[in-house]
């Protein structure tokens, strides 16, 4: 059925795992059934297992931040403040599915972000830009990589500084790539999740094969782009990620599913 059980432990010990297992098993009370088939495995690997935390030493990272600061301040005398951050993580994930199937993934992730504040007189404005991915630090240490980050953050700040109030009323808005994708996610992304459509609480429930967008509009959920920040070799259920077409030329083609709702929706 659609019943689920959840438990967690704050420590990694045999007793804690056993207690969590007993809690999860309680969801079976009064029910019977068979375990769902596990996901089909693949040999795909969308990123390396290299640990970025073992990369450049602390002094090299500090030098990078100093170079970014000097470069940004030298580009425009109106720069009043510049801040930048360099972060990294390395996760080892092990997923044990019902039936005993074990899936492991090693997930590196780094990010470089730059923020600039410019000012004239009493007015100040800001701009920011950054990027990251499932790689090591080496790419982001290169001037050819980080200088465009500073240039774009400064460009945004200057545009904001020179901007004038927009006229009131409805306007046509053209969105570029990158962060504007969040608007798409909030506008329709949650409505295309399988559980809402199975429960018929989504505006898109029952509309598979129907036109829900203008011709020429295609939306995909792609977790398979090599080294990209949003990609995963397997998701947290142990399922290999895929390139899922949600809307094709304006026609609703599918939903984003977890294994439970995919099974219940057939």
Task: Give pLDDT tens digits along the chain (266 positions).
Answer: 677 777 878 888 888 888 887 877 776 666 655 556 666 766 778 999 999 999 899 999 999 999 999 999 999 999 999 999 999 999 999 998 877 889 999 999 999 999 999 999 999 999 999 999 999 999 999 999 999 999 999 999 999 999 999 899 999 988 888 888 888 899 999 999 999 999 999 999 999 999 999 999 999 999 999 999 989 999 999 999 999 999 999 999 999 999 888 888 88
Using CB atoms within 10 Å of the CB of residue 22, give its burial: 0 to 12 exposed, 13 to 18 middle, 19+ buried. Answer: exposed
- pLDDT at res. 79: 98
Gap between the Cα atoms of 147 and 140, Å rounded: 10
Region at 191 (left for phi over 0; alpha for psi -120 to 50; beta for the rest): alpha
Residue 23: the pLDDT is 78
Q: How far apart are CA 164 and CA 94, in angstroms?
A: 52
- Give the number of other CB atoms < 10 A from CB of residue 102: 9
Asked if 82 contacts 49 with a C-beta cutoff of 8 angstroms, the reply is no
Backbone angles phi, psi at 41, to 5 degrees: -75, 160
- H helix runs in the chain, sequence order: 14-25, 58-75, 143-161, 181-184, 194-198, 259-264
- Domain residue spans of the chain: 1-33, 52-162, 179-265
Q: Which CATH architecture has domain 52-162?
A: 2-Layer Sandwich (3.30)
Q: Supply the pTM of this predicted model.
A: 0.81
State the pLDDT at residue 8.
79
Angle formed at CA 184 by CA 181 and CA 186, multiple of 5 degrees: 110
Distance, in Å, from the CA atom of 190 to the CA atom of 188, rounded to the nearest integer, reads: 6
- Residue 80 CA to residue 87 CA, distance in Å, equals 24
Q: Detail the DSSP E strand segments found in 97-209.
A: 102-120, 123-133
What six digits make up the tokens of 260? 């439970």
What's phi and psi for 16, nearest 5 deg? -65, -40
Is residue 161 within 8 A of residue 120, CB to CB? The reply is yes
Tokens of 144: 């050819």
Report pLDDT for 176. 83
Distance (Å, rounded) from C-alpha 136 to C-alpha 227?
10
């Amino acid at each position: 059925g659609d019943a689920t059980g959840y438990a967690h432990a704050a420590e990694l010990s045999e007793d804690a795992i056993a207690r969590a297992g007993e809690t999860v098993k309680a969801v079976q009370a009064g029910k019977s059934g068979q375990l769902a088939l596990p996901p089909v495995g693949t040999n795909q690997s969308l990123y390396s297992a290299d640990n970025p935390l073992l990369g450049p030493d602390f002094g090299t990272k500090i030098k990078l931040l100093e170079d970014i600061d000097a470069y940004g301040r030298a580009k425009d005398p109106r720069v009043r403040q510049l801040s930048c951050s360099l972060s990294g993580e390395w996760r080892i994930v092990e997923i044990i599915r019902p039936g005993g199937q074990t899936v492991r993934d090693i997930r590196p992730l780094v990010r470089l972000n730059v923020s600039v504040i410019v000012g004239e007189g009493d007015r100040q404005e800001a701009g920011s830009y950054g990027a990251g991915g499932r790689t090591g630090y080496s790419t982001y240490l290169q001037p050819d990589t980080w200088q465009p980050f500073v240039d774009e953050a400064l460009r945004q700040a200057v545009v904001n500084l020179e901007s004038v109030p927009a006229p009131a009323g409805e306007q046509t808005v053209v969105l570029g790539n990158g962060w504007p994708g969040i608007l798409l996610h909030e506008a329709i992304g949650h409505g295309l999740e399988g559980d809402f459509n199975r429960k018929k609480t989504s505006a898109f429930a029952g509309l598979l094969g129907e036109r829900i967008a203008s011709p020429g509009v295609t939306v995909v959920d792609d977790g398979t782009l090599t080294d990209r920040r949003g990609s995963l070799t397997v998701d947290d259920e142990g399922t290999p990620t895929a390139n899922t077409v949600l809307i094709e030329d304006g026609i609703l083609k599918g939903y984003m599913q977890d294994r439970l709702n995919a099974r219940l929706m057939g």
